[in-house]
Structure 1
Amino acid sequence: MDFRALLDFLKELDRNNNKEWMDRHRKTYLRLRDEFIYWLDGLDIRLARLDPDYYPTPGRTGINRINNNLMFHPERPVYKDHFGAGLDKAPDTGDFYIQIGIRESLLAGGLWRPAPGKLRSVREAIDFNGETLVEILNKPSFVSAFGGLYEDEKLRTAPKGFSKDHPYIDLLQHKTFAVVHELDVETIISPGFEDHIVEIYLEMLPFRRYLNKAISV
């Protein structure tokens, strides 16, 4: 995959974010999209060999649409400034997300603002064995890769049914349980990019398994 060409295309699209420009350059877009899907297919196979619980996700299934949803967000531009895809995408679980863009490139995973039922399940898991999650989050290599939980909206007090003095109150107050690893251009265009993705995938895996187990029981 020529990621430099992909980023160059996204820069031009960002400067000409309209359907007329896209129609004139659709062949280029479709070629890059097909290359990205082919690259995802290879990565999907590689990750499946490393993780016995991996949920096979072909690139064509995992890739996101480049069009923004203007029905619900009319203020957004017509097209996104990135290519994104989710792998290990089992139904009703948190997947492994890859984003290559001109403003933000990242690897991420977990649960982004899960529905109330799933959020309750995660909080119940933390109440039952929060020490396991804390151990995962405090592992030095995990901290180096992700820093900590993604900072999103949090409750100001304890969730309903939990004490404000709960030993894991700070975790219980989260509404999003996800981690993010930012990528720079040098890493993306380097020969070792895929190896780097595999490294981050494996580092994130215990965290994702904890959450997915919590919402599946």
Structure 2
Amino acid sequence: MLQKSSLEFLNQLKENNNRDWFAEHKKAFEAEQKLAKSFFTSVGEQLGKVDSIERMQIYRIYRDVRFSKDKSPYKNHFSVSFARTKPLLRGGYYLHIEPGGSFVGGGFWEPNAADLQRIRKEFEMDDEEVRTIVADATFKKYFGELKGEELKTAPKGFDKTHPAIDLIRKKQYLVTRSFTDKEVLAPNFQEEVLKTFQAMRPFFDYMSDVLSTDLNGESLYN
């Protein structure tokens, strides 16, 4: 379980996001970071029993402020991602712990140009399967709808009047489920995280099939 002390520390850090305060509270940070890492590792171990995970990345608390207007040196959250084993399995899982802003997410955050074009061409050719997946009751229950940044108009080479233009315009294909602080601290939070990851699988498996085949459905990796 995650502990109330972790959320309390993150709240204090939000109010005192400076190097002097952090240095004074370094031992408290290390204790809370250890608890978070233990939880993330446990989630990863359980996820690895039902999916093939090639990498777990626990993100550092330190912000890269070089290109940001916000010069706060520290993040106000703990987070981790789990990457599925490429090239046949695509999609990534993400867990974000922040007071008042915790969520589980996943999908395709920054698909490269070739993958994005392949996805768009698939939707241009046939969007029935993906619409069936995102209209499924379980998908709707956990995520509501498919999210992600999108273009204001059609990408180059695509018809802006195409019936699937709402999908084709997207630059990201993401799903998220928010959690309250009470839910994060509940004994069944890890179970709910794993259920949420599992609910992403039909979408991930469909997209994996798209990205590992050509437009004729022939495997790219045989």
**Alpha-carbon separation, structure 1, partners of 2:84 and 2:63:** 21
Q: Is the 8 A contact 2:2 2:184 kept in 1?
A: no
**Alpha-carbon separation, structure 2, partners of 1:48 and 1:129:** 32
Indicate the residue corresponding to 1:66 in structure 2.
61
Over 3 Å counting, the alpha-carbon distance change for 1:2 and 1:199 in structure 2 is closer
Give 1 or 2: higher helix fraction: 1
Shift of 1:202: 0.8
**Residue 173 in structure 1 maps to residue 169 in structure 2:** yes
Provide the TM-score with structure 2 as the length reference.
0.86
Paired residues for 1:72-83 under 5 Å? 72-83=67-78
**Alpha-carbon separation, structure 2, partners of 1:37 and 1:170:** 38
SS at structure 1 position matched to 2:43: helix
Q: Output the aligned Cα RMSD.
A: 2.0
Over 3 Å counting, the alpha-carbon distance change for 1:69 and 1:76 in structure 2 is same
- Identical pairs, percent: 28
**Alpha-carbon separation, structure 2, partners of 1:15 and 1:103:** 14
Indicate the residue corresponding to 1:194 in structure 2.
190
Over 3 Å counting, the alpha-carbon distance change for 1:213 and 1:18 in structure 2 is farther
Unaligned runs of 5+ in 1: none
Aligned pair count reads: 211
Indicate the residue corresponding to 1:22 in structure 2.
22
Indicate the residue corresponding to 2:50 in structure 1.
50
**Alpha-carbon separation, structure 2, partners of 1:74 and 1:166:** 39
Shift of 1:40: 1.6
Indicate the residue corresponding to 1:112 in structure 2.
109
**Alpha-carbon separation, structure 1, partners of 2:179 and 2:137:** 19
Q: Is the 8 A contact 1:48 1:56 kept in 2?
A: no
Provide the TM-score with structure 1 as the length reference.
0.88
Paired residues for 1:63-142 under 5 Å? 63-90=58-85, 93-142=90-139
Unaligned runs of 5+ in 2: 214-222
Give the letter for the 1:200 counterpart: T
Over 3 Å counting, the alpha-carbon distance change for 1:91 and 1:27 in structure 2 is farther
**Alpha-carbon separation, structure 2, partners of 1:110 and 1:147:** 14
**Alpha-carbon separation, structure 2, partners of 1:213 and 1:64:** 29
Shift of 1:90: 4.1
Mean CA deviation greater in 32-41 or 135-144: 32-41
Shift of 1:14: 0.8
Over 3 Å counting, the alpha-carbon distance change for 1:71 and 1:90 in structure 2 is farther
| Structure having greater relative contact order (Cα 8 Å, sep ≥ 6) | 2
Give the letter for the 1:84 counterpart: S
Over 3 Å counting, the alpha-carbon distance change for 1:127 and 1:65 in structure 2 is same
Q: Is the 8 A contact 1:10 1:81 kept in 2?
A: yes
What's the CA shift string for 1:115-137, capped at 9, x where partnerless? 32221122123234421111110
Over 3 Å counting, the alpha-carbon distance change for 1:213 and 1:23 in structure 2 is farther
